[in-house]
Amino acid sequence: MAITAQDLIDAALDAQSLEDIVNGADNINGTGVVTTRLGQQINTVAKIISQANGRVNVLRYDTRALLFADLLHIAGTLAVVTNDSTPAYNTFYKKSGASGSGSWAAINLITPNMPAINGGDAGKLIAVKSDESGYELRNNLSLIGVNATPDATNKLSVASAESLFSYNGSGGHLMKVNKALLADSAAISFRNNNSTRALLGLLGDDNFSMRVSANGTDYNTSFIIANASGNIDIQKNCKIKTLGFASSTELTIATGSVTPTQTYHTLDTQSDASADDLDTVVTTNIPDGHLVILRIENASRVITLKHGTGNLQLLNGDIEMNLTTGAVILMRVGSNFIQVANSFSSAGFSSNGATPPVAFTSTTTLDIPLALSDYTGYDVTIYAETGGRISSLDYSTNGAASFGSLGLNTMVGTWSSVAGGAGNEPSYMIEIHQLKLAGTANIFGKVVGSSRAGGSAAFMYGIESYINAATMTHLRANFTSATSGFYVVKPRGARA
């Protein structure tokens, strides 16, 4: 077979590769590796010898003590301890110093620059030194990145669809976010393309709060939970689909007072008495501006909320709670509780409008609650729709505990002088105009009545009446027999 020119060229290249492999330095081509004509990469003999000096001819010792006692070896000699009773000592060692002197130091055979590992090093991390001169054992790392690049601010960076922090063997897992000073923040930042949209945690104080932002710069506080009380302060408008309260608990009156612990309560009398008065609602557990809803526990035990006796400010004087289907809503304002709503027949009214007509049925006496000291006056209309007729009017200044007569027949003017009617004819309807305080001690009123004696309407006028009392709490209408009808009370403005 003839030898071609290409064969001669290939032979020359192969000869050069062999020359480099046999005689080349251990760092030829910067690596000590020769690449042949066919693309093979082969270490030079010098490099193989160099590697052999550091990795081959490893001496073996049963214990570290035996190894340390044998110093008759040149620097760079390798040894391994295999059966020491201390497991950490069973590793590779490298000799330093001349034969007969020096010492042995534990090494990692694969990475000779690895630091010695001894007892007590369990759990430590192997890290590259800051000057990149080798490795060191550390209890911590300054930067950690998981599929991401950490930096001086984000020393732990993780790029992942999910992150798991799990329990260790059993039990739970507690994640801790700590801060140095009260004015610092310990929080979680929720972001969109690295622009914050929400912050949740301890934001500049020790209360738990949430702030949101549309641009990562300007923030709105949504809520704050006070760390001392647990009270939630909602800072912005709140849309609630339904609003409910914790199930009611019973409050029993004690010497005219109760102490609510939540919004919704039922009331019962002291010692289950048939009737009782509630003068004071203690403010301890109800913050300013918060509501209390009250119902009675038993309709046979009537409770009267007393206006102005304690800290209750009621729109229309005392409220008699005599139905389990009714409720009163109060709001704390300072040290008082003011009436917000009332579903009982003595429903409160504003100073610029009348109550809705209040119905009464089958009664011979009708007590109408008033709070004359709160207003300059009232207009009162009483209409006897069926049954008897109004025969006389009485008044009370002590919460209906006792009554005195307005004495229609003795009023100025003649009650019996009714055009078209019989003498002393009772009235079907009474209108009392400008019932009010006159001076400091007298209640003044004008009464207009109408009757239907003889089949036609007749009118009578009682001009005026003075009552020696500073406050009228109730007006009572007396009927000739059991009567049904309605009444309307309209105030004439609040007193200064």
Determine, yes or no, domain membership for 189.
yes
Task: Please indicate, yes or no, whether residues 226 and 215 belong to a single structural domain of this protein.
Answer: yes
Sequence-ordered list of residues with C-beta below 8 angstroms from that of 463, at least 6 positions apart, any chain: 411, 412, 413, 446
Parent domain of 317: 249-342
Residues 433 and 364 in one domain: yes
Q: Quick check: is 141 in a domain? A: no
Residue 468 near residue 459 (C-beta atoms within 8 A): no
Contact between residue 139 and residue 124 where contact means Cβ atoms under 8 Å apart:
yes
Q: Are 35 and 126 part of one and the same domain?
A: no
Return the number of other C-beta atoms located less than 10 Å from residue 393's C-beta: 27
Q: Is residue 416 located within the same domain as residue 458?
A: yes
**C-alpha distances in angstroms, 296 versus 132, 136, 281, 299, 319?**
81, 77, 15, 7, 12
- Are 196 and 308 in a shared domain? no
Q: Is residue 300 part of a domain?
A: yes
In a domain, 323, yes or no: yes
Residue pair 327/343 in contact by the 8 Å Cβ criterion? yes
| Predicted pLDDT of residue 204 | 96
Whether residues 364 and 477 fall in one domain:
yes
Instruction: Tell whether 445 is covered by a domain.
Output: yes
Residues 268 and 219 in one domain: no
- pLDDT tens digit at each of 496 positions of the chain: 567 777 778 777 887 887 787 777 767 777 778 888 888 888 776 666 666 554 446 788 889 999 999 998 888 888 888 888 988 888 888 889 988 899 999 876 545 555 655 666 666 766 666 665 666 777 777 888 889 999 999 999 999 999 999 999 999 999 999 999 999 999 999 999 999 999 999 999 999 999 999 999 999 999 999 999 998 999 999 888 888 999 999 999 999 999 999 999 999 999 999 999 999 999 999 999 999 999 999 988 999 999 989 999 988 788 888 888 889 999 999 999 999 998 875 433 333 344 567 778 888 888 888 765 555 566 677 777 777 777 777 778 787 888 877 654 433 333 333 333 333 344 455 666 545 443 433 444 445 544 443 333 333 333 344 444 456 778 888 887 888 877 777 765 554 4
pLDDT attached to residue 416 = 35
Say what the pLDDT of residue 438 is.
Answer: 39
Q: Based on the domain organization, do 48 and 76 belong to the same domain?
A: no
**C-alpha dist (Å) from residue 346 to 42, 320, 369, 375, 437:** 108, 7, 7, 16, 21
Q: Is residue 1 part of a domain?
A: no
- For residue 307, count other CB atoms closer than 10 A to its CB: 23
Q: Which two tokens stand for residue 429?
A: 């309807």
Q: Considering the domain boundaries, does residue 115 fall inside one?
A: yes
- Domain contains 216: yes
Task: Look up residue 336 and give its amino acid.
Answer: N
> Both 441 and 481 in a single domain?
yes
Q: ∠253-255-258 over CA atoms, to 5°?
A: 40
User: What does the pLDDT read at residue 346?
Assistant: 46
207 with 88, same domain?
A: no
pLDDT computed for residue 121 by the predictor: 67
Number of domains in the chain: 5
Rounded to whole angstroms, what are the CA distances from 448 to 151, 157, 214, 367, 463?
91, 88, 68, 19, 8
Same-domain status, 334 and 398: no
- Both 421 and 459 in a single domain? yes
The CATH number linked to 442 is 2.60.120
